[in-house]
Amino acid sequence: MQDREGFAPLSRLPKGALGILYEIARHLLRRPVVGIAAIARDERGHLLLVRRGDTGTWALPGGTLEWGETLLSGLPREIAEETGADWLSLERVTGVYSRPDRDPRFHAVTVCVEGRVAGPARGPKNTMEIKEARFFAPDEVPEDLAMGQRDMLDDALKGGQVVLE
């Protein structure tokens, strides 16, 4: 266990500085994270889903951006990490979802896109996060998807205008 000496740099700050640092951190860290989710289809039109390790439920592949990453570069990385499939092309943005209650871990703004992938789904790199990945025929997709993603999928499948939540 670390003694107070390990925190010496903070203890040397003027009394009011810790309060200011706290306020800065609160404003910087209490912001939504940005994520991307994919309505990913193979050449047969089957949908690629992942089974989450934390809830055991199926979900759209995707995740949050890493520092310095763009949505366009983050998506192929997430598809590869979570499914082992190859991202081929972006077809369209289907919606932007921001309801704070979607994810119990944090408030996220998720850009949902439709695109093509090439199988097979070789599986996740981190089996603690994602248990498995597989393709589903459109009529075989589980009804309940994690993190309130069923409406994201339904909005994409019905087509039409981009949804802004």
What single-letter DSSP state applies at residue 36?
Answer: E
- Residue 114: count of CB within 10 angstroms of its CB: 19
Between strands 33-41 and 62-64, the pairing is antiparallel
- Cα dist. 153→40, 113, 148, 165 in Å? 10, 10, 10, 14
Strands (E), the chain: 33-41, 47-52, 58-59, 62-64, 86-97, 108-118, 130-136, 163-164
Active-site choice (69, 81, 129, 132):
132
Is 69 a catalytic site residue? no
- Catalytically active residues are 132
